[in-house]
Amino acid sequence: MSLLMIGCGKMGSALLSRWATSTDQNITIINPSLVKAPAGVKVTQTLEELSGQRFDFVVIAIKPQLIAHLLPAYQAYLKSNACVISIAAGYSVTSLVKLIGERAIVRVMPSLPAQIGRGVSGIYANAICSDAQLTIAKQLTDAVGYTHITDNEDELDRVTAVARSGPGYTFEIARCWINSAINLVFSPKAAKALVLNTLGGSIELAIESKSKVTSKNGATQAGLDTLMKSSTLESLLDSTVLSAYERAITLR
């Protein structure tokens, strides 16, 4: 299958680096500012260089505010039954249809760890999208991590609030945790190593099992009693995710 990627920013580059090595798609990207592409990926600078070509899939990886200006020009380079995949946050299927008409559209909300194959992607496909096209879209997201297929765009916004924004929450929690380690008189370098390795190992353990991590009246239990006091942490995380979801709604 032939795939054209329009633009290649941070998220697009993260996806492209994995797709080039983990899928058998024939990939072309159009991005005048891209310095270096993965082996096997064709880079073009202008639309004119695509003359005569038609693609099975086109991936929209440009900023949402540029889509209305740039996307219509790509109509001539799509096969009649081509599928459009958008990774643009907040740009609805309805908005895309206004630009390119009724055709198969898949919205994908990936998270940044996709660049190391540990991303989480939400997928929503409109009714025109065939099972075969959805299968290929899922193969692309599976190549960069875990895929959650949604039934509607509201659910996709909820995935955005939980997973796409999730690395930001994780980094901030890690920053605070590292500062706490520094306050226990560890050097910044040692504190960072201790916290990040603890996070990484704990996540792997959580994925693999549900091992009990506390002992009665132990140090861990004492720490957790303070952490969960008055359900402050639960309430704060609820508010954090809800704020991200509400913002995603306003971007539709």
Sheet holding 78-86, edge to edge: 42-44, 26-30, 2-6, 55-60, 78-86, 104-109, 119-125, 145-149
Give the pLDDT of residue 88: 92
pLDDT score for 179: 98
Residue ranges per structural domain of the chain = 2-153, 166-250
Q: What is the mean pLDDT of residues 176-193?
A: 98
Q: Which of 137-141, 177-181, 186-190, 246-250 has the least mean pLDDT?
A: 246-250
Lowest mean pLDDT among 4-8, 28-32, 74-78, 81-85: 28-32
Q: Return the amino acid letter for 226.
A: T
Condensed to tens digits (0 to 9), the pLDDT of residues 97-111 reads 999 999 999 999 999
Of 71-75, 134-138, 145-149, 184-188, the one with minimum mean pLDDT is 71-75
Fold of 2-153: Rossmann fold (3.40.50)
CB 129 within 8 A of CB 104: yes
CATH fold group of domain 166-250? ProC C-terminal domain-like fold (1.10.3730)
Identify the sign of the CA torsion 60, 80, 142, 123.
positive
Same CATH topology for 2-153 and 166-250: the answer is: no
